[in-house]
Structure 1
Amino acid sequence: MAAEKTVRRAAIFGASGGIGNALAAALGDRGTEVWAGSRSGTAVDGRFRGFRFDLADERSIAAVAEHMAENPPDMVLVATGVLTLADGTGPERSFRKLRAEAMEEAFRINTIGPALIAKHMLPLLPRDGRAFFGALSARVASISDNGLGGWHSYRASKAALNMLIKNFAIEMKRTHKGAVVVGLHPGTVDTDLSTPFQSNLPDGQVVPPAQAAANLLAVIDSLEPGDSGKLFDWQGAEIPA
């Protein structure tokens, strides 16, 4: 097992969700100063500093980056994402179910929002020493590993996120030699996102958020700059594009 990497300050976007909150708690237990971001801006743990952001409002993300510029993070985690939309629209099982409005919403949350976070937060990461940017992605975003089809908007929006992560990693390598920029697949976690899809899963496949956070941090600890631009699962295995 890799030794724990020292993280002085972490900014977590989506800290009110199950995985984001668990990641914040685990990092806080390590002694990391945690900035916990949500739409309300209220930190659920008194140890954390809350901040407000909205994935659909770039100005709110830019304001967060400006506020953090004097004491910037050395780790940024994007723990946001959507599978079932707010109106109840779930992942499409057939191309006949595609709707432009639903696709746009999936891409706005799963792709464009994280990209805008990267736009404003990546420049804050330290140029000397280790810096980390990670965004939650999904195994089903793998094009080469897709044998079932369906879930069109979710798969496509996360695959697009993976491409952006690759692009950001290439760009960051030019100026931040110690930076690691990756996508992270947490597995099936017992959160609101996965609840509608847990009934047919085998026992033990669904893990609680605290365990998922521990798994992801163990993977993060093991990663080096040469791993930048890739997608890793909760066991540390690279997922093919």
Structure 2
Amino acid sequence: MFKGNALVIGASGGIGSELVSQLIQSSLYHQVHAVSRTLPSEPVREVCYHKVDSEDEGNIASLCQSLRAQNIQFTLVISCIGALHGVNDEHPVTPEKRLEDINSRNLDFYFATNTIIPAIWLKNVEQLLKGKHEAKLVFFSARVGSITDNKLGGWYGYRASKAALNMLIQTAQIELQRRAKNIAIVSYHPGTVDTGLSKPFQNNVPKGKLFTAAFTVSQLLNMLPDLTVQNAPYYLDWQGKRIPW
């Protein structure tokens, strides 16, 4: 059986590190590569680690060119990069509750993290996935990025940046149908996961809907084999159900 290679982008976070662990345990891949801004203090022997600043497009391009030069095909690339809150120019960023909360500094933060950085990775990893074997390119998105499903409002920057990511995915899939017909792109909503991203908002999560990283990762990996290039792109939740774009 052919064993491709897997690459996890944003591998130092709660979900990213769990992805690396489960991919190694699956024994389905020849090599598992992990990309993060910092290297782990206790690296896993079987993992190929890469220190990359994803805010630097040159860093991303250099890594992808280096991996491509090894003449190996990646059959899975997963990007876990994203943010719901954080700090920009020493100012805290939190989801907006009303129009008056919108400001350019917060929008810069959301679009840089949730849209621009994934777009630069999308541009560069194509060369790693293109080949004779079917390959999956997964971006962690969010249900709130759905324009059709938006019934509650609020969270302007986060919603808009995730909707923009979804548009990039749709547009790229159209182009890949001409130039890299083996690649299927997936926009994945993991649910609310018990990580730093959701910590400030966990009190509002209904009982039984706060998931572990292990659960949402296993849900994703279990559904990937059934996803075909012919039906891509996909916008799926943790149950494998389609979300309207």
Tell me how far 1:121 sits from its aligned partner: 0.6
| Map of 2:7 onto structure 1 | 11
Unaligned runs of 5+ in 2: none
Confirm whether residue 35 of structure 1 aligns to residue 33 of structure 2: yes
| Map of 2:147 onto structure 1 | 143
Give the TM-score normalised by structure 1. Answer: 0.93
The aligned amino acid for 2:38 is S
| Map of 2:82 onto structure 1 | 81
* Larger displacement relative to structure 2 (91-100 or 219-228): 219-228
Tell me how far 1:6 sits from its aligned partner: 6.7
Higher strand share goes to which structure? 2
Whether the 8 Å contact between 2:4 and 2:73 is mirrored in structure 1 is no
Confirm whether residue 21 of structure 1 aligns to residue 22 of structure 2: no
SS state at 1:46 partner: coil
| Map of 1:237 onto structure 2 | 241
Tell me how far 1:124 sits from its aligned partner: 1.9
* Larger displacement relative to structure 2 (39-48 or 70-79): 39-48
* Larger displacement relative to structure 2 (120-129 or 132-141): 120-129
The aligned amino acid for 2:36 is S
Whether the 8 Å contact between 2:193 and 2:211 is mirrored in structure 1 is yes
| Map of 1:174 onto structure 2 | 178
Whether the 8 Å contact between 2:73 and 2:131 is mirrored in structure 1 is no
Tell me how far 1:129 sits from its aligned partner: 2.1
Tell me how far 1:7 sits from its aligned partner: 5.2
Partners of 1:229 and 1:44 lie apart in 2 by 34
Partners of 1:60 and 1:72 lie apart in 2 by 20
Whether the 8 Å contact between 1:128 and 1:176 is mirrored in structure 2 is no
Whether the 8 Å contact between 1:188 and 1:205 is mirrored in structure 2 is yes
* Partner residue of 2:165 out of 136, 161, 165: 161
* Larger displacement relative to structure 2 (44-53 or 100-109): 44-53
Partners of 2:103 and 2:113 lie apart in 1 by 16
Deviating above 3 A after TM superposition, structure 1's stretches of 4 or more consecutive aligned residues are 41-44
For residues 104-142 of structure 1, what are the alpha-carbon distances to aligned partners after superposition, in whole Å with 9 as ceiling and x for unaligned? 111011000000001111122132121111100000000
Give the TM-score normalised by structure 2. Answer: 0.92
For residues 26-58 of structure 1, what are the alpha-carbon distances to aligned partners after superposition, in whole Å with 9 as ceiling and x for unaligned? 111112221111001447423211112222110
Confirm whether residue 52 of structure 1 aligns to residue 51 of structure 2: yes
* Larger displacement relative to structure 2 (93-102 or 81-90): 81-90
Whether the 8 Å contact between 2:75 and 2:133 is mirrored in structure 1 is no
The aligned amino acid for 1:57 is D
SS state at 1:74 partner: strand
Whether the 8 Å contact between 1:7 and 1:75 is mirrored in structure 2 is no
* Partner residue of 1:104 out of 108, 115, 130: 108
Confirm whether residue 124 of structure 1 aligns to residue 124 of structure 2: no
In structure 2, the CA distance between the partners of 1:72 and 1:41, relative to structure 1 (3 Å rule), is farther
* Larger displacement relative to structure 2 (216-225 or 186-195): 216-225
Unaligned runs of 5+ in 1: none
Partners of 1:190 and 1:41 lie apart in 2 by 22
Tell me how far 1:158 sits from its aligned partner: 0.4
Partners of 2:45 and 2:215 lie apart in 1 by 22
Partners of 1:208 and 1:239 lie apart in 2 by 21
RMSD, matched Cα: 1.6
* Partner residue of 2:229 out of 225, 228, 231: 225
SS state at 1:174 partner: helix
Partners of 2:2 and 2:84 lie apart in 1 by 33
